[in-house]
């Protein structure tokens, strides 16, 4: 396999890693042999086996050092970028100041800016007027005036956009002129690079950095310029320093660990207990990760949601009937501030979930009943894996299936039945396919639950002369009911949190409708929509995704807790 490691990259870190491996092996050997010499070969006199002394030294030699290397691997690039950028910026401070002065003195720029501001004010005023008019009642409603105002608004918007473009263009011209002056004044290449970076629009900055990173590591960049090369040079320099720093530190940590632990080895040293304590600590640490994950989920969702609720009231979010967050893409953008009423999403989620359950519960439950009560071992052996295949199919495949087959089939069917304008992306299509996805979930959980009903109850019923179906419906099912309810709850929570099928099959219209043939949107779809476009982390649009995530998390968590409780109670009853 061709590893993308250049020789340069290979150099320090890989060599250090290899050296550390050697040190670990050496640590093991030294620890072991030192323990043996401590008792002059009579290993029975040692508290712990010689190997444990070896492990002890090896662990302390390797673990801290590799931990450091891990940190470097994850955060190293980040650190280099930050250092390089701050240096470039510092270098460019002079030119930036010059630019600010020039702009402040540039009459064209000031005038254009002024005009743009005026236009923005006009648009805002029109907005206010229009919304006042829209909210007006009775005699004050004046549709003609509204139409006129709308036309004016559009015109003003166009003008405003043009004005802002002009401002930007003028600014660009000044930026270029100042840059050219700086070149003739003999500014350093790094200063120019910093200047270019500072003046580039947000989205270009990432590109600039990634290009210079590529140049620094000798790869092909999307473009090439003096500034890029200067930036690359800065990056390469810091990269080397950080790399060397990490390498030296790692080696030092290894050596330190080695030295300290080696000194402790003696015949009485409880090496095994020490090693085992370390192992136990590692085990405990691992299980803490599960908790940390939950904490991370809760904190990140809460934190971002609180920021969202600072701009949109909680009640408006939970009970508002209109959802149109697209309007508020940029904070300074004209127009409405966006509507964040999540009820249409909840309704859409509920509708799709209900449809999915209508499909999955009967099919899943009857499959489970048939498999556990009727089917012979051979049939079971074939049918169960088939159902499991359904469970193993990635949801994106179900989504594609909905797009490819189910949606068009529904449209054809309902158009033939005389419905008009049936869309392919509908709640029905998403719900049906999601139901199929849930079938194996319900059938396998119910299967477990039904099998947990003691055979003695079935025997009792058969001995009374009941048929199989009577035994199932009157004895087994009532006995298994709590477990089945738990299984269905888990399935509902699954359906509520399912993403890909609805993203692909349910459409995106935030319609508040009871018609399953229309396209609806769900909590998960909106999270995806809000977070896959351009993101600006301070806009309520992006933050609302986290609020939706919080709702989703709380909702599913509640269902899971209840379901797990119910199932567990049920298990205890028959165990």
Partner 1 sequence: MHDAQTQPTVYHKNSLGGSDIKVEVRDVSVSYGEKQALFNVSLDIPDKSVTAFIGPSGCGKSTFLRCMNRMNDTIDGARVSGSLKIDGAEVNDRAVDPVVLRASVGMVFQKPNPFPKSIYDNVAYGPRIHGLASGRDELDAIVEQSLRKAGLWAEVSDRLQDPGTGLSGGQQQRLVIARAIAVNPEVILMDEPCSALDPIATAKIEDLIDELRENYCIIIVTHSMQQAARVSQMTAFFHMGSLIEVGPTEEIFTNPLESRTQDYITGRFG
Partner 2 sequence: MTDSPRTFPVREDVERRLAKRYRAELRFRTAGLTAIGIAVAILCILIGSIASEGVPAFTAKELVLRVELDADRVDPEGDGSVASLRRGSYNRVLQDALREAFPGVTARNDLRTLFGLYTPLNATRLMDAVLDDPALVGNSYVFTMPLADDLDLYLKGRLVEDRTLPTAGRLTASTDGDIVSLRSTTADFTALAREIEQSMAAEARTLELRVEQVRLALDQVPAADAPRLQAEADRHAAAAVNLRQLARAPDGFLPLTGDVPSVIVESGGQAFRLTQLAVDGKSARGEVVLGSGLVENADDWTLYVVDTPESRRRVSDQLIIWTRSLVEREMIQTGFNTYLFANADSREPELAGIKGALYGSILTMIITMFLSVPIGVFTAVYLEEYAPKNRVTDFIEVNINNLAAVPSIVFGLLGLAVFINFFGLPRSAPLVGGLVLSLMTLPTVIIATRAALKAVPPSIRQAALGVGASKTQAVFHHVLPLAAPGILTGSIIGLAQALGETAPLLMIGMVAFIADAPSLGLAGFTEPATVMPVQIFLWSDGAERAFEARTAAAILILLALMIGFNAVAIYLRRRFERRW
- Structure tokens, 465: 């002369």
The span from the CA of 327 to the CA of 334, in Å, is: 9
Closer residue to partner 1, CB minimum distance, 97 or 573: 573
CB of 7 to partner 2, least distance (A): 13
Closer residue to partner 1, CB minimum distance, 243 or 458: 458
Residue 552 contacts partner 2 per CB under 8 A: yes
Residue 460 contacts partner 1 per CB under 8 A: yes
Binding residues for partner 2 restricted to 17-46, rule: CB under 8 A: none
Binding residues for partner 2 restricted to 332-391, rule: CB under 8 A: 362-367, 369-371, 373-374, 383, 386-387, 389-390
Residue 457 contacts partner 1 per CB under 8 A: yes
The span from the CA of 447 to the CA of 457, in Å, is: 17
CB of 368 to partner 1, least distance (A): 19
Closer residue to partner 2, CB minimum distance, 85 or 116: 85
- Per-residue exposure over 345-361, b if at least 16 CB sit within 10 Å of its own CB, e if not: bbbbbebbbbbbbebbb
How many other C-beta atoms can be found within 10 angstroms of the C-beta atom of residue 244? Answer: 13
Q: Which of 421, 465, 537, 572 binds partner 1 (CB under 8 A)?
A: 465
DSSP codes of every residue in 405-464: IIHHHHHHHHHHTT-SS--SS-HHHHHHHHHHHHHHHHHHHHHHHHHHS-HHHHHHHHHT
Closer residue to partner 1, CB minimum distance, 362 or 460: 460
Q: Which of 118, 324, 473, 474 binds partner 2 (CB under 8 A)?
A: 473
Binding residues for partner 1 restricted to 339-378, rule: CB under 8 A: 376-377
Q: Which stretch binds partner 2 (CB under 8 A): 56-64, 175-183, 308-316, 490-498?
A: 490-498
CB of 371 to partner 1, least distance (A): 14
The span from the CA of 492 to the CA of 498, in Å, is: 10
Are the C-beta atoms of residues 34 and 262 closer than 8 Å to each other? yes
CB of 21 to partner 2, least distance (A): 16
Q: Which of 184, 286, 421, 456 binds partner 1 (CB under 8 A)?
A: 456
- Structure tokens, 456: 């003695």
560 binds, among partner 1, partner 2, none (CB under 5 to 8 A by kind): partner 2
Binding residues for partner 2 restricted to 159-198, rule: CB under 8 A: none
Closer residue to partner 1, CB minimum distance, 138 or 376: 376
Q: Which stretch binds partner 2 (CB under 8 A): 170-178, 189-197, 312-320, 542-550?
A: 542-550
Q: Which stretch binds partner 2 (CB under 8 A): 30-38, 115-123, 187-195, 489-497?
A: 489-497
DSSP codes of every residue in 58-88: HHHHHHHHHHHHHHHHHHHHHHHHHHHHHHH
Residue 414 contacts partner 1 per CB under 8 A: no
With tokens 């990490």, the residue in question is 246
Residue 462 contacts partner 2 per CB under 8 A: no
297 binds, among partner 2, partner 1, none (CB under 5 to 8 A by kind): partner 2
Question: Mask: binding to partner 2, 242-281, rule CB under 8 A, as x and -?
Answer: ------------------------------x--xx--xx-
Positive or negative: CA dihedral 146, 147, 149, 150: positive
The H-assigned helical ranges of 476-532 are 477-497, 500-505, 523-532
Positive or negative: CA dihedral 333, 338, 340, 343: negative
222 binds, among partner 2, partner 1, none (CB under 5 to 8 A by kind): none
Residues 6+ apart with CB under 8 A from 563: 485, 486, 487, 489, 490, 493
Closer residue to partner 2, CB minimum distance, 319 or 379: 379
Beta bridge partners of 339: 324
- Per-residue exposure over 277-310, b if at least 16 CB sit within 10 Å of its own CB, e if not: eeeeeeeeeeeeeeeeeeeeeeeebeebbebbbe
Q: Which of 418, 420, 402, 404 is nearest to 506 (CA)?
A: 402
- Cα dihedral 95, 97, 102, 105, rounded to 10, equals -170
CB of 464 to partner 1, least distance (A): 5
Q: Which of 118, 140, 241, 469 binds partner 2 (CB under 8 A)?
A: 469
Q: Which of 430, 554, 558, 553 is nearest to 490 (CA)?
A: 558
Residue 15 contacts partner 2 per CB under 8 A: no
Q: Which of 108, 162, 532, 574 binds partner 2 (CB under 8 A)?
A: 532
Q: Which of 334, 472, 475, 510 binds partner 2 (CB under 8 A)?
A: 472
CB of 293 to partner 2, least distance (A): 5
The span from the CA of 117 to the CA of 109, in Å, is: 12
Strand 323-324 to strand 339-340: parallel, antiparallel, or no bridges (unpaired)?
antiparallel
Angle, vertex CA 270, rays to CA 267 and CA 271, nearest 5 = 95
Residue 298 contacts partner 1 per CB under 8 A: no
Binding residues for partner 1 restricted to 479-518, rule: CB under 8 A: 479
Binding residues for partner 2 restricted to 403-432, rule: CB under 8 A: 403-405
Q: Which of 118, 131, 300, 324 binds partner 2 (CB under 8 A)?
A: 300
With tokens 């691992």, the residue in question is 286
Closer residue to partner 2, CB minimum distance, 125 or 288: 288
Q: Which of 370, 400, 414, 462 binds partner 1 (CB under 8 A)?
A: 462
Residue 70 contacts partner 2 per CB under 8 A: no
Q: Which stretch binds partner 1 (CB under 8 A): 113-121, 187-195, 208-216, 467-475?
A: 467-475
Tell me the site size for partner 1, rule CB under 8 A. Answer: 20
**Could you report how far apart the first and last alpha carbons of the chain are, in Å?**
53
Are the C-beta atoms of residues 363 and 488 closer than 8 Å to each other? no
Residue 394 contacts partner 2 per CB under 8 A: yes
> Where along the sequence are the contacts to partner 1 (CB under 8 A)?
376-377, 454, 456-467, 470, 474-475, 478-479
């Amino acid at each position: 396999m061709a590893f993308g490691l250049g020789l340069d990259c290979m150099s320090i870190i890989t060599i250090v890693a290899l050296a550390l491996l050697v040190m670990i092996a050496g640590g093991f050997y030294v620890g072991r042999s030192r323990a043996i010499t401590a008792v002059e070969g009579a290993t029975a006199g040692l508290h712990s086996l010689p190997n444990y002394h070896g492990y002890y030294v090896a662990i302390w030699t390797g673990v801290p050092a590799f931990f450091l290397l891990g940190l470097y691997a994850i955060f190293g690039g980040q650190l280099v970028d930050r250092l390089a950028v701050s240096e470039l910026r510092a270098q460019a401070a002079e030119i930036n100041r010059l630019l600010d002065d020039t702009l402040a003195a540039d009459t064209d720029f000031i005038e254009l800016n002024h005009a743009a501001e005026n236009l923005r004010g006009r648009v805002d005023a029109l907005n206010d007027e229009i919304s006042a008019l829209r909210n007006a009642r009775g005699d004050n409603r004046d549709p003609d005036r509204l139409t006129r105002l709308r036309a004016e608004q559009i015109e003003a918007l166009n003008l405003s956009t043009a004005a802002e473009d002009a401002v930007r263009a003028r600014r660009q011209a000044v930026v270029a002129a100042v840059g050219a002056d700086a070149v003739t004044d003999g500014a350093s290449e790094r200063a120019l690079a910093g200047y270019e970076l500072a003046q580039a629009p947000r989205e270009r900055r990432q590109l600039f950095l990634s290009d210079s990173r590529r140049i620094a590591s000798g790869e092909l960049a999307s473009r090439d310029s003096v500034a890029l090369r200067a930036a690359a040079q800065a990056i390469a320099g810091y990269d080397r320093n950080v790399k060397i720093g990490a390498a030296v530190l790692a080696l030092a940590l290894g050596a330190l660990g080695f030295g300290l632990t080696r000194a402790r080895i003696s015949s009485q040293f409880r090496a095994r207990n020490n090693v085992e304590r370390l192992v136990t600590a590692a085990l405990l640490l691992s299980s803490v990760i599960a908790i940390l994950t939950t904490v991370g989920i809760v904190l990140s969702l809460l934190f971002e949601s609180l920021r969202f609720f600072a701009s949109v009231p909680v009640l408006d979010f939970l009970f508002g009937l209109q959802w149109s967050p697209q309007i508020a893409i940029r904070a300074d953008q004209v127009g409405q501030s966006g509507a964040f009423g999540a009820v249409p999403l909840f309704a859409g989620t509920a509708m799709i979930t209900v449809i999915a359950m209508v499909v999955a519960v009967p099919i899943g439950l009857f499959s489970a009943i048939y498999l556990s009560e009727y089917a012979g071992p051979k049939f079971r052996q074939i049918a169960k894996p088939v159902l499991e295949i359904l469970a193993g199919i990635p949801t994106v495949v179900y989504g594609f299936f909905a797009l490819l087959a189910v949606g068009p089939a529904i449209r054809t069917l309902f158009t033939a039945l005389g419905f008009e304008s049936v869309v392919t992306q509908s709640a029905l299509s998403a719900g049906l396919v999601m139901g199929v996805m849930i079938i194996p979930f319900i059938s396998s959980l119910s299967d477990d639950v039904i099998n947990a009903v003691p055979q003695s109850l079935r025997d009792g019923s058969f001995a009374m002369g009941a048929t199989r179906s009577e035994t199932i419906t009157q004895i087994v099912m009532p006995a298994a009911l709590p477990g089945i309810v738990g299984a269905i709850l888990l399935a509902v929570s699954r359906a509520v949190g399912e993403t890909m099928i609805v993203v692909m099959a349910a459409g995106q219209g935030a319609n508040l409708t009871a018609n399953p043939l229309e396209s609806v949107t769900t909590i998960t779809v909106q999270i995806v929509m809000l977070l896959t476009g351009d993101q600006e982390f301070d806009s309520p649009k992006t933050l609302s995704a986290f609020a939706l995530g919080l709702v989703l998390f709380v909702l599913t968590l509640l269902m899971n807790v209840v379901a797990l409780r119910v199932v567990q109670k049920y298990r205890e009853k028959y165990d």
